[in-house]
């Protein structure tokens, strides 16, 4: 049986990255925390801590955001699934985030297909946490909606 100590990540021990993505330079996004729990995820910061680096065939990450904090419009090369751990979240779909809005609460799951632009905002009154699952050992990269670069400039 493999040693399980290296395969356990305690929620209380999660190490956040505060500048995992370019959108942390834009107003409303600067307070978000990103976590790579299993696998490298899609962080744009090579210094981000990966809790369990061993390939599993999928990636699990997390996002913690205070109220009104935005994760800007982006898409992925693989499908992405979010599970709400805490908080109330608005998932805003489409390049500008105005095509469809879905509100999710603790315990809710939303599956977003490859190539669909999505962003999300903690619309609750307290800090919220999302689990994120990306397919494959190499989940590819983030593709940002064009407006994100203007906001981050």
CATH of the domain at 86: 2.60.120.10
Q: Tell me: pLDDT of 143 over 90.
A: no
In a domain, 4, yes or no: no
Q: State residue 87's pLDDT score.
A: 98
In a domain, 3, yes or no: no
Rounded distance between C-alpha atoms, residue 96 and residue 148, angstroms: 10
In a domain, 120, yes or no: yes
In a domain, 126, yes or no: yes
Return the structure tokens found at 6.
């290296």
Which has the higher per-residue pLDDT, 70 or 21? 70
In the chain, beta strands by DSSP E:
33-38, 50-52, 58-65, 70-76, 80-86, 89-93, 100-104, 109-112, 118-122, 128-135, 142-144
* Counted domains in the chain: 1
Q: Tell me: pLDDT of 148 over 90.
A: no
Q: Tell me: pLDDT of 24 over 80.
A: no
Boundaries of domain holding 144: 13-152
Q: How many CB atoms lie within 10 A of CB 99?
A: 11
* Residue 81 backbone dihedrals phi, psi, to 5 degrees: -120, 135
**pLDDT tens digits for 33-69?**
999 999 988 777 788 899 999 999 999 999 999 999 9
pTM here is 0.89
In a domain, 1, yes or no: no
Q: State residue 46's pLDDT score.
A: 82
């Amino acid at each position: 049986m493999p040693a399980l100590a290296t395969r356990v990540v305690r929620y209380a021990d999660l190490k956040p990255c505060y500048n995992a993505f370019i959108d942390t330079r834009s107003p409303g996004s600067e307070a978000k925390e990103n976590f790579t729990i299993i696998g490298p995820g899609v962080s744009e910061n090579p210094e981000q801590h990966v809790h369990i680096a061993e390939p599993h065939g999928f990636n699990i990450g997390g996002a913690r955001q205070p109220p009104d904090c935005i994760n800007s419009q982006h898409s992925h090369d693989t499908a992405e699934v979010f599970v709400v751990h805490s908080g109330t979240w608005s998932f805003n779909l489409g390049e500008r985030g105005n095509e469809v809005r879905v509100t999710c609460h603790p315990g809710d799951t939303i599956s977003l297909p490859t190539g669909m632009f999505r962003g999300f905002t903690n619309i609750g009154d307290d800090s919220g946490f999302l689990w994120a699952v990306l397919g494959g050992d190499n989940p590819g990269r983030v593709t940002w909606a064009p407006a994100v670069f203007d906001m981050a400039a």
